[in-house]
Copies of this chain bind each other. A is one copy, B any other.
Amino acid sequence: MQQERPFDLLSKSLGKGVMIRLKGSKSIRGRITSFDAHMNIVLEDAEEIEDGGEVKAKVGTILLRGGNIVFVSPV
């Protein structure tokens, strides 16, 4: 099957900015540097973002566990 797969979006986003929504409505924005089949993701220059869109805290490099991710969106 040559149809595109969902994880292709992560491959194409390597080195680029993404916004990641976590369970409990926390959001993290950063540059994706790696991911695996469980959707575990490492971001660099990551920032915690509030509901209103303002930066709440700078978190630098961060490993997000896939099981807590709701969605990933390129920014």
Contacts and interface: CB of A to CB of B under 8 A. Distances in A.
Contact size range, A: 35 or more
Q: How many copies does the complex hold?
A: 7
Contact of A34 (B5, B34, B40, B67): B5
A67 to B, nearest CB: 7
A58 B71 CA distance: 14
A54 interface: no
Contacts of A55: none
A40 B6 contact: yes
A75 B17 CA distance: 21
6 contacts: A5-B36, A7-B36, A59-B71, A62-B71, A63-B72, A67-B67
